């Protein structure tokens, strides 16, 4: 009894905390200063054209500019592209580049660099759906690029933003070497607001203001340092001690609660809508007894999402009920949420023919989790073990000592239940479809490893991928989300509680949908640190 009251109190308190938005009213931006960003993510190299992910994305978007960027309400904004226009049939997009843009070596940025970059990304980037319909990029003059599509592709604008499509210099990367492991990936010649000074792998990346950046007067900062720290408690202490100024992508609840109370620090939870990091419990729908939808529903009812959010994550995370992040305009709030209902779970299991044995157990399952992010994955798996015991399901937690061990099990279908953490990446075409299309049941992670197949879902997703009308597209996704909610190939738990902590004298901290994975040319110090 007392337990529930405490949990409720915690939830209210955290909701109040989240309501406090950081003061963003800024005076005249000031030039100069140095920003130390601290992160656990160690990039392999610095070229986002051939390496997706946050680790490369954060420094990569400072070094390279893209055609577009997005604001905090999912609207495209000009960046390297001054303007852009769709053809009426939706089969071509004309982009006009800014005139004065140059790479860090002084060469002008032209439409042929754009064409080269897009085709390189199409050939090398893991997110194949981004540019699959792009047949060619025409370059009628140095500052015009025309994208020719094989079918309408509403996700294209988003794919042209942020870390997803950096504009890289053809005169450097077009030398015939494989771009995927080009030496220049470690010493890039970029197009963005900051240029590389030093890259010490796994340690530190030092960037410096690029004086000939194509936006007049930007960036405001003289220098940006990305320091890589592997231990979350060290991150927290370094922020407290003022050894770093900004901590993006931070999701450890204990550290969040601690840093919230540190004077001189501010935080925001905005800036993570684009990446859409979802934490969920996946079922291997090919295996008995999980091939029975009633068993999957029973497990969903037996697991208490509120406990995970309020007790395990101390109220820092937001609930997630469906496959598309709830802050996206495509999210359908009408779907079944599977709030805790142990009686219903028991009834469903009985109905499915899994009576309790003499020891009270119905059957045994294993659960895997991604090692390294304990609070989102391992702790939830441990909780699920103790929770499912209540409905007569015995669960073995199978630890993986490291990521490749987990990835090997999941990609080969050797699992019953697994915790998983999957990113939406802005448009559903990029990050959502892959999990549910029956054509994407493949032996690689973050494909449809659930083995889920539904013809209606396949048809809906194929149609939505090409639907130019936003309202129609939303309706298609709404129906898709209903089917997924009914058939529970996945039980959705929460959005990763990403927070950006920063020195409160920093202004214009990145809160667009891409957060720190978009150019930080607008960030400045409102007073000296």
Q: Which of residues 80-109 bind another protein (CB under 8 A)?
A: none
Contact characters 352-371, another protein, x per CB under 8 A? -------------------x
| Min dist. Cβ of residue 401 to another protein (A) | 5
Nearest-angstrom CA–CA distance, 302 and 387: 7
Residues 377-436 that bind another protein (CB under 8 A): 378-379, 382-383, 385-386, 396-397, 399-409, 411, 423, 425, 431, 434
The reply on whether position 153 binds another protein by CB under 8 A is no
Contact 195, 205 (CB under 8 A): no
- Stretch 2-21 residues interacting with another protein (CB under 8 A): 3, 6-7
Region near another protein per CB under 8 A, out of 254-262, 328-336, 469-477, 479-487:
254-262
255 binds another protein (CB under 8 A): yes
For residue 525, what are the β-bridge partners? 506
Beta bridge partners of 204: 200, 227
CA 59 distance to own-chain centroid: 16
3-state helix, strand, coil in the chain (%, to 5): 30, 20, 45
Q: How far is the CB of 419 from another protein (least distance, A)?
A: 13
Strand-pair category, 223-228 with 34-39? parallel
Q: Give the ranges where 261-413 is alpha helix by DSSP (H).
A: 293-302, 305-307, 342-351, 378-388, 403-411
Closest to another protein by CB, 406 or 452: 406
Place of tokens 């990521």: 403
Q: How far is the CB of 399 from another protein (least distance, A)?
A: 4
Pick from 97, 225, 290, 509 the residue near another protein by CB under 8 A: 225
Cβ nearer to another protein, comparing 32 with 443 = 443
236 touching another protein, by CB under 8 A: yes
Q: By CB under 8 A, is residue 312 in contact with another protein? A: yes
Please, are residues 251 and 257 in contact by the beta-carbon 8 Å criterion? Answer: no
Among 202, 253, 244, residue whose Cα is nearest residue 224: 244
**Closer by beta carbon to another protein, 232 or else 451:** 232
Q: Would you say 146 or 262 has its CB closer to another protein? A: 262
- Taking CB under 8 A as the rule, does residue 441 contact another protein? no
Name which of 294 and 434 has its Cβ closer to another protein. Answer: 434
Looking only at residues 168 through 207 of this chain, which bind another protein when binding is defined by CB under 8 A? Answer: 180-181, 185-186, 200-204
Q: Shortest Cβ distance from residue 282 to another protein (Å)?
A: 14
**Min dist. Cβ of residue 423 to another protein (A):** 6
Residues numbered 23-82 forming contacts with another protein, rule: CB under 8 A: 34, 36, 38, 42, 44-45, 51-53, 55
Would you say 218 and 65 are in contact if contact means Cβ atoms under 8 Å apart?
no
Residue 241 interacts with another protein (CB under 8 A)? yes
Site for another protein in 113-152 (CB under 8 A): 126-128
Does 513 bind another protein (CB under 8 A)? Our answer is no
Q: Using the rule CB under 8 A, which residue among 234, 361, 364, 439 binds another protein?
A: 234
Longest dimension (CA), the chain: 78
Q: What's the rounded Cα separation, in Å, for the pair 47 and 63? A: 9
Q: Does 497 bind another protein (CB under 8 A)?
A: no
Q: What does the block give as tokens for 522?
A: 């607008």
Separation of alpha carbons 305 and 81, rounded Å = 43
Contacts of 393 (CB under 8 A, 6+ apart): 299, 302, 349, 361, 362, 363, 364, 365
Length in residues, the chain: 529
CB nearer to another protein: give 26 or 403.
Answer: 403
Q: How far apart are the first and last CA of the chain?
A: 48
Tokens in use for 390? 């209540």
Tell me whether residue 60 or residue 111 sits nearer to another protein (CB atom): 60
Q: Does 249 bind another protein (CB under 8 A)?
A: no
In the structure encoding, which two tokens stand for residue 43, read together?
């990039």
């Amino acid at each position: 009894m007392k337990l529930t009251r405490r949990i409720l109190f915690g939830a209210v308190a955290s909701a109040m905390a989240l309501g406090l938005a950081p003061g963003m009213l800024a005076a005249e931006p000031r030039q100069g200063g140095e920003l130390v960003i601290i992160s656990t993510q160690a990039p392999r190299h610095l070229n986002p054209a051939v390496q997706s992910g946050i680790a490369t994305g954060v420094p990569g978007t400072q070094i390279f500019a893209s055609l577009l960027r997005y604001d905090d309400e999912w609207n495209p904004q000009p960046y390297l592209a001054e303007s852009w226009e769709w053809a009426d049939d939706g089969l071509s997009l004309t982009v006009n580049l800014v005139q004065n843009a140059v790479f860090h070596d002084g060469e002008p940025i032209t439409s042929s660099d754009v064409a080269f970059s897009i085709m390189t990304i199409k050939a090398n980037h893991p997110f194949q759906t981004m540019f699959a319909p792009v047949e060619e990029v025409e370059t009628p003059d140095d500052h015009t690029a025309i994208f020719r599509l094989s079918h309408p592709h509403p996700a294209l604008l988003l794919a042209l933003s942020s870390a997803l499509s950096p504009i890289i210099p053809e005169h450097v990367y077009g030398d015939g070497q494989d771009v995927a492991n080009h030496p220049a990936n470690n010493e890039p010649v970029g197009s963005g607001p900051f240029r590389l000074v030093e890259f010490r792998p796994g340690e530190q990346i030092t960037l410096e203001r690029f004086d000939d950046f194509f936006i007049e007067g930007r960036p405001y900062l003289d220098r940006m340092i990305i320091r890589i720290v592997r231990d979350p408690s060290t991150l927290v202490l370094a922020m407290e001690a003022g050894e770093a100024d900004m901590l993006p992508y931070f999701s450890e609840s204990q550290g969040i609660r601690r840093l919230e109370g540190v004077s001189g620090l501010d935080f925001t939870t905005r800036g993570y809508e684009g990446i859409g990091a979802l934490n969920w419990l996946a079922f291997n729908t090919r295996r008995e007894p999980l091939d029975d939808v009633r068993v999957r529903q029973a497990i969903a009812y037996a697991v208490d999402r509120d406990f995970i959010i309020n007790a395990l994550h101390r109220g820092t995370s937001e609930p997630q009920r469906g496959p598309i992040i709830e802050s996206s305009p495509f999210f359908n709030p009408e779907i079944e949420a599977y709030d805790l209902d142990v009686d219903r779970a028991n009834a469903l299991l009985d109905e499915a023919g899994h009576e309790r044995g003499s020891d009270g157990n119905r059957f045994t399952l294993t659960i895997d989790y991604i090692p390294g992010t304990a609070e989102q994955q391992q702790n939830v798996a441990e909780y699920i073990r103790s929770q499912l015991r209540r409905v007569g399901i015995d669960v073995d937690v199978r630890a993986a000592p490291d990521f490749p061990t987990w990835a090997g099990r999941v990609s080969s279908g050797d699992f019953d239940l697994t915790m998983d953490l999957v990113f939406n990446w802005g448009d559903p075409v990029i990050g959502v479809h892959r999990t549910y299309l029956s054509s994407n049941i493949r032996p690689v992670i973050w494909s449809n490893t659930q083995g889920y197949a539904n013809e209606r879902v396949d048809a809906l997703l194929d149609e939505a991928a090409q639907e130019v009308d936003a309202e129609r597209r939303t309706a298609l996704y709404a129906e898709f989300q209903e089917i997924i909610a009914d058939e529970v190939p996945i039980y959705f738990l929460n959005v990763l509680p990403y927070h950006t902590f920063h020195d409160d004298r920093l202004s214009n901290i990145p809160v667009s949908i891409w957060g720190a994975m978009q150019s930080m040319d607008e960030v400045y110090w409102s007073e000296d640190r």
